[in-house]
Structures are given as structure tokens and as C-alpha cells.
Structure 1
Amino acid sequence: MPPYHQFLDRHHPEGYRKAEIEQLALAVRARENRLLLALPGMGLSNLLRFFVSQPQWSVPGETAVSYINLNALQDDPNALFAEIARQLAEQQVGNGLETTADGYQQLYQLLLAANRQAWWRLVIVIDQADGLLTAVSAPFYRQLKALTDLQKHTCILLAASWRFASHVDPENLLFAGRRLFVKPFSVADFAHALTEEAQRLGTTFSENDCRQLTWLTGRHPGLLRAISTAVVLGGVKVANGETAVVQLLQRDDVVYRCQKMWQELTTKQKQDLQQLQELDEVSEQLCQMGLVVEGKNGRWQLFSPVFKQFVATKKPALLPIRIVEQATRQVGEQTIVVAGKVFKGDTQIPVSPLELRLIACLKQEKRIYSKDEIAAYVYYEEWDNYRDISNNRIENLIRQVRRKLGNDYIRAYWGQGYELMV
């Protein structure tokens, strides 16, 4: 099986995804961009594979490309470095691999030897990097920076989801503003993508089908495949408009795609999408992600009626609960919060001492607390004297706190106890 950098493209027109390809090509051509670039976005994996299969970037010299999809590797930095070294060595970078060394040393020695060669650019594309980024810490980024400092012709593109792209590189060694955003298909590119989908499914789309698919998908690459499959193989009639939206959201593949986008969002972004009609302004990032577009009436709207209906089914995201300025007391083996201020999001919630202790008890760990555990924490003064704490007292206290925080914040489990849901 050939490495990714040898894969052929699917014979797309020359201008396919031209804006995105040019953005990537600029990153390759800009010699100061040898440091890592985060590339969250839509349909990114397909775009990157297309990008590396056509290395026609108008560069003045020889270029070698390594493409790594981390779904095919364990989330192990050493394995990543070894695979990059192997792919570059296949393209005659360096003087061969030092197979007895670990992955990082193999790549280090290869790039060191490449300094004596005439390479204009060594492009390393690391795709599907979320799992890796959850496993690494600052030393990993220092290793990457050391490699790019060693071989200044190296350009590393790291593809991460929105969730991780805003949190990676804790010391800001590599990103430093070097982030690119991939938006939905342009009108022309979407037409090419529809043709490709029709070929994949062995059918043709009428002009009306194309209009309806444009409306349903919002030109989103991820939704396109799931929705076109549902139309051709699942019997969904795009001409039915709103009925088609309902039918699509009964399909697991469509819901999965919507859920994947939803999971990328922060609590604040989810709240903005749920309250979109009430907002005069939305965050720049939601626009960059392509989730929000300006409607004909000048108001913000979600990019697709399918995703809009999906968002409507989601309960409003719960704001985090914090206790600040805590004072504690040691009672036996328990550390009990006896004073503090409770905040729901950024809003302070006035609570009584008993209500504070109930919230603090449920916040200790993310689990179900029995009534006995709650009584021992909240009513510790009485519990120490072995006085009976009735179920009614606990249930009344739960109701009081629900009235202040919201009913969805505390969940009851019949016969087991209660759990704080944030």
C-alpha cells in the first residue's frame, strides 16, 4: 500500500477548493511559517489529502511531503516521529534511517542530514490529531520546535478539531497566531462535490435536487455525504422540504454528523446558537466555523435547516456552578464547606448555609450521593449526635436548591440518591 503522499486525487477540476488550497500553499511558501499551523475546519481531512496529492504550489525548488493520519497510529509521539521519518526517507530526504534509534532521533538525524541537501521545503501534515493532543504536554511542542529550528525548511501543518485547536500548545511555542480556518464549500466547489457524490452513489441529481441539497446541507462537507446517502439509498424525498428535515434527523448517520459539530462547541457557543434569534452579534469564531450565516433579513441564522432542527432538540447547556471564597471545616474524615459564595456561570446565587453545603456535597465528585451521605455532610452537626435526619428534610432542601439553580441541575435516581449534572 503506497504512503499517503503518493495517493492520487479524484480528478477534481483544477480550481476545486481553490481558496483553501491557496491558503495552505501560502503557508508552505512563506518561509517564516516553518512552525506548526493549527487547521480546524470543515471537510479538512479530504482537503488535506487533496492538497498533498497535488504538490503544485509554485515553489522555486524541490519539495517533499509527509502525510500522517493519526487514526491509523496509536496516540504515541514516538510512533508519529518514526512514521514521518519513514515517509521522508522514502523520498530520499537525508541519508537513510537510523533504525536502531527511537522515532524522534530517527527524524532528528534525517532532518540534520537534509540540511546538506537542496530541499526547498519539507511539508509534514499531521491529520486527525485530537487523540494525540490529549496525551501530550509541553515537551512534545518543544520537540516539534526543536525539529523546525534544526531544519528551517520544514513546515508542519497540524489538523485538530475546534475543541483542541484553541487549547493546544500551552506555551504558545508554535501557533502564535498561525491558525487557518476552513469554511464550507464555495458554490462552485459544492457543485463539483455534488457531482462526485452522484458518481459515488451511481445516480444523477436534477437541478431541483441540487437546490434542495444545497439548502439542506448548507454546503457543509460533512453533512453532504450523510444527506446525499439518505436521499439516494434511504428514500428521503428532498422535494418535501421540512418533512425531509424530520426524516433526515431520524437517521443515525445524519445525527452523528450534527452531534460531531455540536461537541466541538464551548458552552457559551452552544448557548449562542440556541438563542441566535435574540442576538445582535455573534462570535467571530462561529462565523469562521461556518455554523452561522447572515440571512436575507439581516439577522443571523444557522447554516442548515437540518442543523437548526438538531439544535432545537438540545436542552439549553447548563452553566457551570462554582463555589468561591470557601471556608472549610474538618469533621472526621470529611472536609466540609461551611462558608462561600455560589456562582452560576458569572451570576452569584444567594444561598443559605444548608443550601451551600448541599451544593458543596454534590460537587465533591461527579457521582450519585445517597441520602445518608448528604445527611452526613449537610447536617453534620446533628449527624455527629446520631440524631435522625428525615427524608423529608433532605427532599425539601433539594427542592429549595432546584428553585435557585434550575430543575435540571440536580437529578434524582429512585432508590439511589442525587447527582449534580454539571
Structure 2
Amino acid sequence: MDYTNAAFPGAPVRSSELDYLVTRLRQGWCCAVVGPSNTGKSFLLKSLLTEEVAHRCSRADFPAPIIVFIDCLEAGDSEHAFYELLLRRTIETLAYHDDTETILAALREFHREMLQAGPSEVAIRALYASSVRALALQLQAPIILVLDEFYDVFRQLPPWPFRQLRALYDSLQRQLCFVTATSHFLENLRADAQVYEFRELFQLHTLVLHPLSAEDAQKLVTYLAERHGETVSPENQQRLIGLSGGHPGLLERIYGVASLTQVDMMTPMEITAAELINLPPVQKECQRLWNELEAEQDSLLALLPGHPAALTAHQEALLSRKGLITRPAGQSPQIFSPLLAQFIETTYGHEIVDEIETGVRVDADTGQIFVGDEEITLKLSEPQRKLVQFLCERVGVVCSYDDIAVGVWGIGEGVSPGAIYELVKRVRQKVEPDWKKPRYIVTVPGKG
């Protein structure tokens, strides 16, 4: 489905990504948008607020949806502040809708009580839950809470607001749903069981933002050129896109530097990737992106010339899922941006070591399980040993919950996702150097 308007006129639309969100929101599903720094998460979510996109989110036999955009950077550091922000932004959004005077008066009263409430978190939770139920009952419209910059809120707040949001979702039967935007998958931000039910809402509906398509990257160059009052030659346009790999943040920084150093943007660009990474705006963008790719850093280093260890199948699958590599026909995988590759090689190439890590392995003859040179067979319970053996037989393959249930317990039904989650967690605690940042047993959200 094509979309004609983005959050800002003339900017790239990301039609396929918008269509992914709209299709699921129209059915009342929650969605998680995941992408590294400056890939355009906020830009995409703000496009949901345009009249065209909001109309396509409408469901048959329902009023138009109420789409509330919340920048969670404003949420403070308490549960109380988070609820207050959610309610305040809802009130501000409804002020632009017709026939909402009655419910607005009720919500403002809830908000007043919330501001005057004492330190009791129970009272605050009750006030917020009552406000959402009143809104749903009064308007009978789908309510979509768009939670941008959600990572700090999700990591730092106690579990109760997320448990309450899940309870409200269940009680309102998909009349309420959520869209989150984070730099990492939710389970990597916070893996504790207390918020599992909230994370579960997004497991099958996670959109990973890749670099821009060629068409959208060209639109972004045109958008930037118009902002600078310039015209860009087709050759320079391709040069900008090629160096950045379509990453919006890198593309904007490279354009800014080129615009300052070129006589004009019709003159052929001669600046190289090696020169660009020494310029502060580009260097800072590369560093910021690298810092957010902590879980992928070893895999990206493995793509550099001279690295002794080849990329494993599961490493390649994870990098590909995030759009961090390309594989030209007949060639090996490459880091998606030549500029980022140059930065990584120049800045971190010295970290390449000759020692190849053996990881987790199972002796095919004896059944013994090793991590590196250490045997851990007796440290594992029987289900844990079966899980390790099952996964080691399928290195590089993404296994579903059903696959694991059959492999470990011999049955495909009756094993809850929670039981599998706990089993995987306990195995990680015994085999991973840091189980919260797994290297051997890696989850691919929405897949297995």
C-alpha cells in the first residue's frame, strides 16, 4: 500500500514500514519498532499521526482511532510521572477531536486528582486505569498509545506500570494497543519475568528498521537539498547514499559536511570515507551507532579484513535481521555502510585477536557439554542438557517455541512460552559470560 505523506512534507515515507504498522494496528495488535540510533524511528511513528495514515488505521464499524504520541524522554524517573505524562498527552490529543467535551472534562478531573495525589502508587494506578476505561467506554474508539524513546522508561521503572498496561489491554479487548520505539529489542532491554506479559504483546509484531531503501534514500537527499537550498547532481546523490548505506543519520551528517566543503553539490564529491570519519559530525554519528550495537560488535569485527574467525550462520542471521549487512551477488557479507566499516576498522580493528573462541559445544560421542575448555555437563539439569544438545545440533537455525518444546519435552502442545523462556534463561546463566547479553543462545524476536 502506498502512502503519499510523511510526518514532514517532502521527506521519505517508508511506505512498507508504515503498511506493516497500519495492518497490525487496524487489527488491534501492539507493535514494537526497533532500530539503532538515527534510523528514523521517531520520524516513522510521527507519520502515524498524519490524517492519511490515521484513516487507514481505522477499523470497520469503529469510530476513527485516537492516536496519542508520547515522547517518553519527558516521563521523569517515577511511575507517577509516567502515568501523568500518558494522561496529559491523551488530554492534549483529544482537544483536537470533535465531540469530546464530556470525556475531556472527566479526564481533566482525573488529571487534577493525579497531580494532587500523595505518594500512594496504588491510588495513582487506580486513577490512570479509571481514566483509560472511561475514555474507552465514552468514545468506543480504538486507542493507540505511541511510546517513542521508550528504552529508559522500560529499563528503569518498576514492573507495575507495564503490568497494568497489559491488564488494560486484556480487559479492553484490543480497543487499546501500544507502539513502542527502542534501539534494542525489549527482551534485551529488560528480561525479568515480572514484565514478561507486557513483552509478550510485541513478540510476534516487531518491526526492525533497516537503512532506507534506494527510493527513500533518494527522497531524503532531495529533502536535505531543499532544506539547504541546493541542487545535487545524480552522481553526488549516489555517492552520498553509497557512503551512508542509506542510514538516515549518517546520510544527513555526510551531506552536511559535503555541503560545507564543496563549492556546490553539482561539483563531483572527492572526499573519501577515511577523510570523513575524522570529521567530528560524522565521527560522532559513527561512534553513537557503534555504541548502540554492543551485542553485534563482535560480529561486525568478524567482517573486517584479517579477522581469523568467519561469521557464523546465526551471527549473519542477526546482522541481516537488523539490516547491518548486505550480501552482493556472489560475494561475502559486507557491513551495510562503507563509511561505518571504515570507522570500525580504523577505530577498533586493533581489537581483532588471533584466538578463536570455541563457544558452547557437545561431544557427539560422550554427550559431554563444554563452554570453551570447561565441562559443565553436571551443572545442567536434564531439560537444560536437552536444550543445549538440541540447539547445538541446529547451529545457525532459528528454532520456534514449538520446535524447542518437541526437542526438550517431546510434545508440541501444552508447554507455555513462559516455561521455555525460563529454561532458556537458566541455561544462559550457566553458559554465557554475561547472560543478559547473550552471545551463544540468541533470541530473534518474532521468530524464536
TM-score (norm 2): 0.63
169 and 145 in structure 1: CA distance in 2 versus 1, 3 angstrom threshold: farther
What displacement does 1:169 show? 5.6
Alignment of 1:153-192 (within 5 A): 153-162=175-184, 166-168=188-190, 170-171=192-193, 172-176=196-200, 177=203, 178-192=205-219
1:79 to 65, 78, 81: 81
User: C-alpha separation between the residues in 1 aligned to 2:68 and 2:320?
Assistant: 31
CA distance in 2 between partners of 1:89 and 1:150 (Å): 22
Flag the 1:85–1:163 CA change in 2: closer, same or farther, 3 A: same
**Deviation for aligned residue 1:137:** 3.6
Q: String of CA shifts for 1:5-36, please: whole Å, max 9, x gaps.
A: xxx932247x82100111111221122x2x5x
Point out where structure 1 has 5 or more consecutive residues left out of the alignment.
Answer: 1-7, 322-344, 350-422
Letter in 1 for 2:81: A
Structure 1 counterpart of 2:149, which letter? Q
Residue pair 1:249, 1:306 contacting (<8 A) in 2 also? yes
- Matching residue of 2:90: 88
Partners in 1 of 2:227 and 2:269 — Cα distance?
24
2:315 corresponds to 1:316: no
Q: How does 1:139-154 map to 2 (within 5 A)?
A: 139-152=160-173, 153-154=175-176
Give 1:68's aligned residue.
Answer: 70
> 1:128 aligned to 2:149?
yes
Contact 1:62 1:118 in 2 (8 A): no
The superposition leaves residues 285-332 of structure 1 with CA deviations (integer Å, 9 ceiling, x where unpaired) of 21122111112433100111110011112143799x9xxxxxxxxxxx
Distance 1:56 1:84 in 2: 23
Aligned counterpart in structure 2 of residue 11 of structure 1, from 9, 13, 32 = 9
2:283 corresponding residue in structure 1: 255
1:279 equivalenced with 2:277 (yes/no): no
Partner of 1:25: 22
Shift, 1:283, TM fit: 3.3
Structure 2 partner of 1:39: 33
Equivalences for 1:218-367 in 2 at 5 Å? 218-235=245-262, 239=268, 243-267=271-295, 269-276=296-303, 278-279=310-311, 281=313, 282-312=315-345, 313-314=347-348, 315-316=350-351, 346-348=371-373
CA distance in 1: counterparts of 2:240 and 2:70, whole angstroms:
32
| Cα-Cα RMSD | 3.0
Q: CA 1:158 to 1:169, structure 2 compared with 1: closer, same or farther past 3 Å?
A: farther
Amino acid at match of 1:23: Y
Q: Which amino acid aligns with 2:278?
A: Q
Aligned partner letter, 1:38 = A
Higher normalized strand content (fraction of residues): 1
Aligned equivalents of 2:189, 2:7: Cα separation in 1 = 32
Query: How far apart are the structure 2 equivalents of 1:106 and 1:222?
Result: 40
Give the C-alpha shift of residue 163 in structure 1: 6.5
In structure 1, the partner of 2:47 is 50
| CA deviation profile, 1:260-305 (whole Å, cap 9, x unmatched) | 22122245x2121111263363432211221111124331001111
Distance in 2, Cα, partners of 1:169 & 1:275: 27
Task: Figure out how many residues of one structure are paired with residues of the other and give that number.
Answer: 313
What percentage of aligned pairs have identical amino acids? 22
Alignment of 1:358-397 (within 5 A): none
Measured after TM superposition, the shift of residue 58 of structure 1 is 4.5
Work out which structure has the larger RCO, using CA pairs closer than 8 Å and 6 or more positions apart in sequence: 2
CA distance in 1, matches of 2:50, 2:77: 25
More displaced stretch, 155-164 vs 99-108: 99-108
| Aligned residues of 2:335 and 2:341 also touching (Cα < 8 A) | yes
Tell me how far 1:67 sits from its aligned partner: 0.9
Matched residues in 1 for 2:320 and 2:287: separation? Answer: 18
Q: Does 1:111 align with 2:138?
A: no
Shift of residue 48, structure 1, vs aligned partner? 1.1
Please say if residues 7 and 43 of structure 2, whose CA atoms lie closer than 8 Å, have aligned partners that are also in contact: no
CA, structure 1 residues 48+244, in 2 after alignment: closer, same or farther (shift >3 Å)?
same
Q: Report the counterpart of residue 422 of structure 2 in structure 1.
A: none
After superposition, give the CA deviation of every residue in 1:112-164 in whole Å (9 maximum; x if it has no partner).
Answer: 11232343311111111222223124323212212323433111111111275
Aligned partners of 1:298 and 1:185: how far apart in 2?
22
Whole-angstrom CA distance in 2 between matches of 1:51 and 1:165: 25
Q: Distance in 2 between matches of 1:191 and 1:212?
A: 11
Residues 165 and 261 of structure 1: CA distance in aligned 2, closer, same or farther (over 3 Å): farther
What is the CA-CA distance between 1:347 and the residue it aligns to?
Answer: 2.5
Alignment partners' CA distance in 1, 2:69 and 2:242 = 34
Q: Structure 2: any 5+ residue segments left out of the alignment?
A: 1-5, 95-99, 118-123, 305-309, 358-369, 375-448
Distance 2:238 2:132 in 1: 50
SS in 2 for 1:156: strand
> Are the structure 2 counterparts of residues 158 and 77 from structure 1 closer, same or farther at C-alpha, using a change threshold of 3 Å?
farther
- CA distance, structure 1, for counterparts of residue 78 and residue 15 of structure 2: 34
Q: Residues 340-395 of structure 1: CA distance to partner in whole angstroms, max 9, x if unpaired?
A: xxxxx94348xxxxxxxxxxxxxxxxxxxxxxxxxxxxxxxxxxxxxxxxxxxxxx
> Relative to structure 1, is the Cα distance of residues 283 and 120 closer, same or farther in structure 2, using a 3 angstrom cutoff?
farther
Q: Output the CA distance in 1 between the equivalents of 2:247 and 2:209.
A: 11
Whether the 8 Å CA contact 2:151–2:189 is kept in 1: the answer is: no
Deviates more, 1:146-155 or 1:301-310: 146-155
Partner of 2:367: none
